């Protein structure tokens, strides 16, 4: 009696694999626009500040620490130069990148770092698919402030319903761009931490209706932050996808999120209890994690939900921003990334049943996650992606 069942399962597996082989994998890196000067950053961080300020000021903090990171040919670009964006788009396409997911910062009719994305919209000849991730967290001076002394630089009022309308109207021209990523006539929109929005469903319902009135079939909403993924008690029903965004997601899955939350809310606890001395919730010094061990944990995970999207991380080192309070993943190389990405693509096809993998990141230079060429590895990480896609017979046309 067992044999027919075994043969059926084997055939099902063959059909599943055959279907998976036909999936064209879309590699979508996150894109940071903070590589140009803005008045707010001049005020908060000093005249002329861009992300390159942190990158250039980085120093090695232990033996073998790969800092500072230097872009190939010292290409400290300015994203207000449209030729830089054109170069990035051409480079991404050459190595098989499907498109970028732009971080978008909007604070109640006040937008920051918007110029690169607006330049892309204004230049339709640039061949680049893209989508948007609304990074809806407050900005705080955590890079320079002592623990427990952070101040808010700019914040959101998510309850302002008039702002919901204005914000959607700002996004609409991007949604209408032929290059914008869509599925089933629905633009893809990520909200980084949706569960901090008190009237979330009401806002999403409004945006969905406004999209329909604009000629779309609605919006495909996604969420990204590990905080959202592992927070309880909020309604995910309006979201089509959740991005398992690594390395934060796997750390949270391994039980570290409680510790991180305690660290985050230390200042609030101190104020409530009237404590002035520092509360030590983490050891002093740079926190080091093993790149290989972390990737093996990622590859061992089962999909967290039927609509989960996996992600890859190139590398991580935020000591250019946080100095001795930062964290580093050691021993990352393009060769290792290539091997892990190969396995993740197979996992994405067979377990997640998806054609998308988000990547940290295209150009997070001050957090160590970038695919752009540097002076140590050259084009190594881009070549790794190209080789993996070719080996898996993928073609991002």
Q: Quickly count: other Cβ atoms within 10 Å of residue 295's Cβ.
A: 24
pLDDT band of residue 16 (cuts 50, 70, 90) is very low
Close Cβ partners of 197 (under 8 Å, ≥ 6 residues apart): 136, 158, 191, 203
Listed as own residue / partner, the contacts of 36-40 with beta carbons closer than 8 Å and 24 or more positions apart are 36/78, 36/79, 36/80, 36/113, 36/115, 36/116, 37/78, 38/112, 38/113, 40/112, 40/153, 40/154
Whole-number Cα distances in Å, 62 to 288, 294, 333, 336, 390: 10, 20, 18, 22, 37
Query: Does residue 5 fall inside a structural domain?
Result: no
The residues pairing with 313 across neighbouring beta strands, listed in sequence order, are: 360
- Residue 195 is predicted with a pLDDT of 95
151 or 15, higher pLDDT:
151
Listed as own residue / partner, the contacts of 273-281 with beta carbons closer than 8 Å and 24 or more positions apart are 278/146, 278/147, 278/148, 279/147, 279/148
The residues pairing with 263 across neighbouring beta strands, listed in sequence order, are: none
Query: Does residue 365 fall inside a structural domain?
Result: yes
pLDDT digits over 287-343, tens only? 999 999 999 999 999 999 999 999 999 999 999 999 999 999 999 999 999 999 999
Query: Does residue 45 fall inside a structural domain?
Result: yes
Q: Which two tokens stand for residue 325?
A: 């309070």
Rounded Cα distance between 362 and 68, Å, is 18
Query: Does residue 11 fall inside a structural domain?
Result: no
pLDDT band of residue 344 (cuts 50, 70, 90) is very high
If DSSP codes are grouped into helix, strand and coil, which group holds residue 134? strand
Rounded Cα distance between 390 and 184, Å, is 27
Cα 351 from chain centroid (whole Å): 21
Rounded Cα distance between 272 and 67, Å, is 39
pLDDT of 394 above 80? no
Query: Residue 160 belongs to what domain range?
Result: 23-391
pLDDT of 379 above 70? yes
- Residue 147 is predicted with a pLDDT of 59
Rounded Cα distance between 276 and 343, Å, is 49
Would you say the C-alpha torsion 67, 149, 266, 139 has a positive or negative sign? negative
pLDDT of 161 above 70? yes
Query: Does residue 16 fall inside a structural domain?
Result: no
CATH at 387? 3.20.20
Q: Which two tokens stand for residue 195?
A: 């569960």
Query: Does residue 4 fall inside a structural domain?
Result: no
* Helix-helix angle 200-213:161-176, to 10 degrees: 40
Q: Is this prediction's pTM over 0.85?
A: yes
Close Cβ partners of 94 (under 8 Å, ≥ 6 residues apart): 382
Query: Does residue 9 fall inside a structural domain?
Result: no
pLDDT digits over 229-274, tens only? 888 889 999 999 999 999 999 998 766 444 444 444 444 434 444 4
117: nearest Cα among 41, 53, 177, 47: 177
Query: Does residue 150 fall inside a structural domain?
Result: yes
pLDDT of 6 above 60? no
Number of domains composing the chain: 1
* Helix-helix angle 291-300:334-347, to 10 degrees: 10
């Amino acid at each position: 009696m067992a044999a027919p069942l075994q043969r059926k399962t084997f055939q099902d597996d063959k059909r599943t694999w055959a279907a998976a082989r036909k999936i064209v994998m879309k590699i979508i890196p996150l894109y940071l626009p903070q590589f140009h000067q803005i008045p707010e950053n001049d005020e908060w961080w000093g005249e002329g500040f861009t992300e390159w300020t942190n990158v250039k000021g980085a120093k090695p903090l232990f033996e073998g620490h790969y800092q500072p990171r230097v872009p190939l040919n010292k290409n400290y670009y300015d994203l207000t130069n449209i030729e830089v964006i054109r170069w990035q788009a051409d480079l991404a396409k050459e190595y098989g990148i499907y498109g970028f997911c732009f971080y978008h910062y909007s604070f109640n009719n006040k937008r920051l770092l918007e110029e690169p994305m607006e330049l892309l919209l204004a230049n339709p000849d640039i061949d680049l698919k893209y989508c948007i991730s609304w990074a809806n967290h407050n900005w705080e001076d955590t890079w320079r402030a002592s623990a427990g002394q952070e101040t808010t630089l700019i914040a959101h009022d998510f309850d302002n319903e008039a702002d919901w309308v204005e914000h959607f109207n700002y996004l609409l021209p991007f949604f209408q761009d032929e290059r914008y990523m869509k599925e089933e006539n629905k633009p893809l929109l990520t909200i980084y931490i949706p569960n901090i929005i008190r009237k979330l469903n009401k806002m999403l319902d409004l945006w969905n209706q406004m999209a329909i009135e604009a000629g779309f079939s609605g919006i495909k909403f996604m969420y990204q932050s590990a905080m959202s993924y592992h927070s309880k008690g909020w309604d995910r029903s309006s979201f089509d996808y959740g991005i398992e965004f690594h390395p934060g997601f796997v750390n949270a899955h391994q039980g570290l999120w409680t510790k991180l939350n305690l660290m985050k809310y230390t200042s609030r606890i101190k104020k409530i209890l009237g404590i002035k001395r520092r509360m030590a919730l983490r050891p002093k010094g740079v926190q080091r994690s093993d790149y290989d061990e972390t990737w093996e944990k990622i590859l061992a995970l089962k999909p967290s939900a039927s609509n989960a999207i996996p992600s890859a991380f190139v590398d991580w080192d935020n000591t250019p921003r946080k100095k001795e309070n930062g964290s580093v993943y050691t021993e990352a190389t393009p060769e290792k990334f290539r091997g892990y990405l190969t396995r993740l693509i197979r996992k994405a096809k067979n377990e997640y049943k998806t054609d998308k993998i988000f990547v940290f990141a295209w150009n997070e230079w001050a957090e160590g996650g970038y695919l752009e060429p540097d002076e140590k590895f050259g084009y190594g990480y881009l070549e790794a992606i190209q080789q993996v896609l070719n080996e898996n017979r993928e073609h991002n046309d």
